[in-house]
């Protein structure tokens, strides 16, 4: 491959992945073209993109970036998967695909600069909470004590309101209220 073609591919990789900080790599070797297209279309519906890359050119294009750690896992046929809300969602979707397509090889992923190597690393990453799930969990933890305090404050007040309401009803009926 000539140097201008290599430079063009490097520019293309950088343009496609300019905003991507977290991604995963996999191999689609052994999957025929029709199933490959079906897999990619299904992933695209989830806003997940898959790009087959040349290993050396990828390493050159992303040296010194957050995707650099993936370079050491690149060997053989390699595709980069990225998109969705986070790489956790990407990992979940692709781990789910492995059940139907065991030919897919999970090579690794990077999240916030941490490298998750191999099949086990990607599976571990897929069990992480997504950003929205983590925020919801944090909000629940923060609001929990406040709810408890509110319940304890409202409890005696609600009991007192019930007593006053029953006294009011008795007085409206003309009954006497005992002490």
pLDDT one-digit tens code per residue, 131-164: 777 777 777 778 777 777 777 777 777 777 778 8
33 and 67 fall within a common domain: yes
CATH number at residue 53: 3.30.70.1730
Asked whether residue 66 falls in the same domain as residue 142, the answer is no
Q: Which residues are bridge partners to 27 per DSSP?
A: 105
Q: Note whether 48 and 115 are same-domain residues.
A: yes
Residues 112, 176, single domain; the answer is no
Is the model's pTM score more than 0.95?
Answer: no
pLDDT at 179 over 70: no
Clarify whether residues 51 and 100 are in a common domain. yes
DSSP 81-139: EEESS-HHHHHHHHHHHHHH-TT-EEEEEEETTEEEEHHHHHHHHHTSPPHHHHHHHHH
120 with 158, same domain? no
Residue 83 and residue 30 share a domain = yes
For a pLDDT cut of 70, what percent of the chain falls above it? Answer: 99
Residues 95 and 142 placed together within one structural domain of the fold = no
**How far is residue 122's CA from residue 93's CA, in Å, rounded to a whole number?**
11
User: Which residue segment(s) compose the domain that 68 sits in?
Assistant: 3-128
Nearest to 50 by CA among 94, 12, 92, 89: 94
CB 10 within 8 A of CB 83: no
Question: Do residues 150 and 86 both lie within one domain?
Answer: no
32, 104: one domain: yes
Do 109 and 163 fall into the same domain?
A: no
Q: How does the average pLDDT of the chain come out, rounded?
A: 84
Closest CA to 121 of 132, 111, 108: 108
Give per-residue pLDDT as tens, 91-130: 998 998 888 888 889 999 998 888 898 889 889 988 887 7
From residue 140, how far is each of 79, 100, 143, 147 by CA, in Å?
Answer: 38, 36, 5, 10
**CA separation (Å) from 126 to 10, 92, 149, 167?**
29, 5, 36, 60
Handedness of CA 168, 169, 171, 175 (dihedral sign): negative
Total structural domains within the chain = 2
């Amino acid at each position: 491959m000539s140097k201008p073609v290599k430079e063009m591919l490097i520019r293309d990789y950088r343009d496609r992945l300019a905003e991507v900080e977290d991604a995963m790599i996999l191999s689609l070797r052994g999957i025929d073209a029709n199933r490959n297209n079906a897999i990619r279309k299904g992933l695209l519906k989830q806003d997940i993109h898959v790009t087959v890359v040349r290993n050396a050119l990828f390493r050159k294009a992303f040296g010194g970036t957050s995707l650099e750690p993936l370079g050491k896992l690149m060997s053989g046929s390699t595709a980069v998967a990225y998109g969705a809300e986070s790489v956790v969602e990407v990992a979940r979707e692709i781990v789910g695909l492995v059940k139907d397509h065991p030919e897919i090889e999970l090579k690794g992923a990077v999240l916030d600069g941490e490298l998750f190597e191999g099949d086990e690393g990607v599976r571990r990453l897929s069990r992480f909470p997504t950003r929205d799930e983590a925020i919801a969990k944090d909000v629940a933890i923060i609001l929990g004590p406040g709810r408890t305090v509110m319940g304890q404050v409202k409890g005696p007040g609600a009991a007192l309101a019930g007593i006053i309401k029953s006294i009011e009803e008795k007085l409206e009926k003309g009954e006497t209220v005992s002490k």
